[in-house]
Amino acid sequence: MTTDLMDTEALLAPISSENPAGIDIRKDTSAQTLYRQAKQARANARGIERQQLQGNNLSSKTDWKNVYRLSVNILTTQAKDIEVATWLIEAGLRLHGFTGLSAGFKFTANLIEKYWEILYPLPDEEGLLTKVGPFIGLNGEDVEGSLIAPLALTPILEFENGTVLTLWHYQQARQNSEASKLEEIKAAIQVIPVETLKDVLNTLESCIAHFSQLVAILNEKCANQSPPSSRVFEQLRNCLECFRANTTTLVTEAPTKKEPIAPKIEAKPSIKIPTPREQALENLVAIAQFFRDTEPHSPLPYILERAVRWGKMALPDLLKELLQDESSKKQLNQLTGIEFK
């Protein structure tokens, strides 16, 4: 699946030439009904979800489909609104997992970049707090935010027998020292195609990258009033670490074919001197580890590690990962002759 699940062009298009960001759906009577419907749909969806959380699953999607549909309606016909964008983020996670979450982060970052000054809700006597309050709700401040538990229960991998791997399942198995359960997880992963695992890794990394972009834009716009983001970062990192802990040996690059060893002509020890490129990549890995140790909530180590992984890939493999739709691959093949296997 690609991260382009949303019609971002329509979602980012101005409501009208006169009022690009539309109207205030909380105050304008012509839109209040739609706003209340969307708000109530979200409340209903979360109410049902809280009941499901007792069974540690997120099985129902029907109510979140209503949230998604109504949010899209508002954003395309009524208003460019931060609160509604956060509802789209929440619904995207429930309906499309990490792929939908990544798409939601990406869209919201673009929305803020394009409409910040006129984006609803507008600042009031409380200043920017009113505008960015919905993001505080996602992350949480004094209490856990609305994304944290759902992230732990969102499937990271789906197995042939219909079961799934979630962060919650993995953490429970580790906390309870259930070695047999951990072995079952690794055994089930063994039969998943490597390309599928790489797609999942790419999606998890994209989530962190797009959330990092969103946070960077908010920091730029809000300065010292920027909303907190550490809990979402930590939970995304936990999900990525859960995946890596169980798949590291499967998604690493296959070793390159060794050339025949030439006969020795001198009785001198031979050492491999890293090329400048190899040394640069090793330096990036070391830098990533530094940030992982010193700033565990920072997105930098994941972005750097992803860059290193891309740097080690052959061009066709890299383009295959970057170009998700078949038409783009076909067009590039016609222009360059690069084969996508």
Reported as a single tens digit per residue, the pLDDT across 104-139 is: 999 999 999 999 999 999 998 888 999 999 999 999
pLDDT of amino acid 197: 94
For CA atoms 92, 147, 175, 252, give the dihedral sign: positive
pLDDT of amino acid 258: 40
Q: 194-243: per-residue pLDDT in tens?
A: 999 999 999 999 999 999 999 999 999 998 899 999 999 999 999 999 99
Q: What is the mean pLDDT of residues 157-166?
A: 90
Q: 242-263: per-residue pLDDT in tens?
A: 999 988 776 654 343 343 443 4
Three state DSSP letters for the chain: CCCCCCCHHHHHCCCCCCCCCECCCCCCHHHHHHHHHHHHHHHHHHHHHHHHHCCCCCCCCHHHHHHHHHHHHHHHHCECEHHHHHHHHHHHHHHHHHHHHHHHHHHHHHHHHHHHHHCECCCECCEHHHHHHHHHHHHECCCECCCHHHHHHCCCEECCCCCEECHHHHHHHHHCCCHHHHHHHHHHHHCCCHHHHHHHHHHHHHHHHHHHHHHHHHHHHHHHHCCCCHHHHHHHHHHHHHHHHHHHHHHCCCCCCCCCCCCCCCCCCCCCCCCHHHHHHHHHHHHHHHHHHHCCCCCHHHHHHHHHHHHCCCHHHHHHHHCCCHHHHHHHHHHHCCCCC
Judge whether residue 59 has pLDDT over 50.
yes
Distance of CA 34 to the CA centre of its chain: 29
pLDDT of amino acid 228: 94
Judge whether residue 73 has pLDDT over 60.
yes
Q: What is the mean pLDDT of residues 280-294?
A: 71
Judge whether residue 282 has pLDDT over 90.
no
The answer to whether 312 touches 253, Cβ cutoff 8 Å, is yes
pLDDT band at 54 (very low <50, low <70, confident <90, very high): low
pLDDT of amino acid 168: 93
Q: 21-45: per-residue pLDDT in tens?
A: 999 999 999 999 999 999 999 999 9
Residue 119, token pair as written in the block: 């984006």
Most confidently predicted of 210-214, 296-300, 333-337? 210-214
Question: The whole model's pTM is what?
Answer: 0.74
